[in-house]
């Protein structure tokens, strides 16, 4: 391992994004340079893992010293649906912990910090189609309010302390390796698990609810691209819009049905419908395209075909 490699600490490494991002970072920088952390220990983890409750920032600071960390990927967050059930916890985890991490990064002069934002920063006053990078942001969930606050903090720490914080406003992320928890876009993952189990799916959103989504390989690619971009190229110091695809429950159902003709769906909207209705349908990501070459690979048909191949393989292995 060459000594110039960054030394990375990831929070939320056992989560939906963390599981796959950790593996990518290990491939890029070597297992010895990537410290995965989470409140729960993942099964069969390969590499360096430390248990941590992120609210314990003293331990976090200790681990940063212990492993001579130079970059943090802070992925822990309480998502939209779970946040509405416990707004106080969402604020504490999403804002207070993030601010403390920025403080630690500033004090310890870390080279770079990555923290995700989300389409949840948009609201019902944001243009629904091709939501611009700079536009009205009136989030309706505590998740959106907290992520928007974080975006302001990223810019503040950059301007005031020259801390190099980078961020993406992820659409709903679709993946098969680790399950998401507590999001509104999670229906687009649950639906696959029912389909491959040959069970009908009861959707908690209405059939024509359009939301921006992204397939995990594209989300990983975008994350690494923004982290590797030259600092002077980054015009956005809050969080970059990124778009990949847009679809509704009806459309993803019909796409799955092309592969599994017996598959059935019913619709039983719950409180998450209101959350979804406050978000936008599609994203203008021209800043990301111009500044660091963002270009998604997967559209709806390609994503559905790939998800089904992987989940069916797993079904067969378990059978």
Supply the residues annotated as catalytic: 143
d(CA 267, CA 205): 7
- Residue 110 binding ligand SER, by CB under 6 A: no
CB-hemisphere CA count at 13 Å for 101? Answer: 33
Q: Can you tell me which residue has the tokens 């209405």?
A: 206
Q: Which stretch binds ligand SER (CB under 6 A): 43-51, 92-100, 112-120, 261-269?
A: 112-120
Q: What residues numbered 185-204 form the site for ligand SER, per CB under 6 A?
A: 185
Q: Which is closer to ligand SER, CB of 35 or CB of 276?
A: 276
CB contact at 8 A, 171 and 241:
no
Q: Can you tell me which residue has the tokens 């991002």?
A: 21
Q: Which is closer to ligand SER, CB of 170 or CB of 292?
A: 170
Q: What residues numbered 252-311 form the site for ligand SER, per CB under 6 A?
A: none
- Residue 223 binding ligand SER, by CB under 6 A: no
- CA dist 319 → 185, 262, 306, 307, 309 (Å): 28, 20, 20, 18, 15
* SS3 of residue 94 by DSSP: helix
CB of 319 to ligand SER, least distance (A): 30
CB contact at 8 A, 71 and 7:
yes
Q: Which stretch binds ligand SER (CB under 6 A): 32-40, 118-126, 229-237, 297-305?
A: 118-126
**Among positions 118, 223, 241, 278, the unique one binding ligand SER when judged by CB under 6 A:** 118
CB of 62 to ligand SER, least distance (A): 30
Give one DSSP letter per residue of 54-79, joined into a string.
Answer: TT-HHHHHHHHHHTT--EEEE-----
Which residues lie closer than 8 Å to 183 by C-beta, 6 or more apart? 79, 80, 81, 82, 172
- Residue 144 binding ligand SER, by CB under 6 A: no
Give one DSSP letter per residue of 166-192, joined into a string.
Answer: E-EEE-EEE-SSS---S-STTHHHHHH
Q: Which is closer to ligand SER, CB of 49 or CB of 114?
A: 114
- Residue 80 binding ligand SER, by CB under 6 A: yes
- Residue 170 binding ligand SER, by CB under 6 A: yes
- CA dist 280 → 204, 273, 303 (Å): 18, 13, 21
Sheet strands side by side (includes 48-51): 48-51, 34-38, 8-11, 71-74, 112-114, 165-166
- Residue 79 binding ligand SER, by CB under 6 A: yes
Which residue minimizes CB distance to ligand SER?
A: 183
CB contact at 8 A, 145 and 139:
yes
- Residue 172 binding ligand SER, by CB under 6 A: yes
CB of 212 to ligand SER, least distance (A): 9
**Among positions 119, 142, 191, 245, the unique one binding ligand SER when judged by CB under 6 A:** 119
Q: Which is closer to ligand SER, CB of 168 or CB of 308?
A: 168
Q: Which is closer to ligand SER, CB of 120 or CB of 196?
A: 120
Q: Which is closer to ligand SER, CB of 59 or CB of 82?
A: 82
- Residue 131 binding ligand SER, by CB under 6 A: no
Q: Which is closer to ligand SER, CB of 184 or CB of 209?
A: 184
**Among positions 26, 33, 140, 184, the unique one binding ligand SER when judged by CB under 6 A:** 184
Residues near ligand SER (CB under 6 A) are 79-80, 118-120, 143, 170, 172, 183-185
């Amino acid at each position: 391992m060459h000594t110039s490699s960054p030394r990375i600490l990831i929070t939320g490494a056992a989560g939906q994004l963390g599981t796959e991002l950790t593996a990518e970072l290990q491939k890029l920088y070597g297992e010895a340079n990537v410290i995965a952390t989470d409140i729960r220990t993942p099964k069969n983890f390969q590499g360096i893992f430390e248990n941590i409750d992120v609210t314990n920032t003293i331990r976090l600071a200790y681990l940063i010293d212990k492993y001579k960390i130079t970059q943090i990927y802070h992925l822990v967050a309480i998502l939209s649906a779970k946040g509405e059930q416990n707004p106080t916890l969402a604020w504490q985890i999403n804002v207070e912990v993030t601010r403390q991490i920025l403080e630690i990064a500033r004090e310890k002069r870390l080279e770079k910090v990555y923290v995700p934002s989300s389409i949840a920063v948009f609201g019902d006053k944001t243009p629904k189609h091709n939501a611009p990078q700079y536009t009205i942001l009136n989030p309706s969930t505590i998740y959106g309010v907290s992520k928007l606050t974080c975006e302001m903090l990223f810019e503040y720490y950059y301007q005031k302390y020259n801390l190099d914080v980078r961020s993406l406003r992820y659409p709903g992320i679709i993946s098969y390796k680790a399950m998401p928890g507590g999001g509104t876009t999670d229906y687009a993952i649950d639906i696959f698990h029912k389909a491959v189990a040959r069970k009908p799916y009861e959707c908690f959103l209405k059939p024509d609810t359009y939301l921006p989504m992204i397939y995990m390989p594209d989300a990983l690619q975008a994350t690494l691209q923004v982290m590797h971009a030259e600092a002077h190229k980054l015009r956005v110091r809050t969080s970059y819009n990124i778009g990949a695809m847009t679809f509704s429950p009806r459309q993803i159902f019909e796409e799955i049905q092309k592969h599994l003709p017996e598959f059935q769906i019913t619709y039983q909207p719950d409180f998450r419908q209101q959350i979804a209705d406050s978000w936008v349908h599609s994203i203008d990501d021209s800043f990301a395209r111009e500044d660091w070459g963002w270009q998604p690979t997967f559209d709806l048909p390609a994503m559905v075909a790939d998800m089904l191949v992987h989940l069916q393989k797993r079904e067969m292995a378990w059978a």
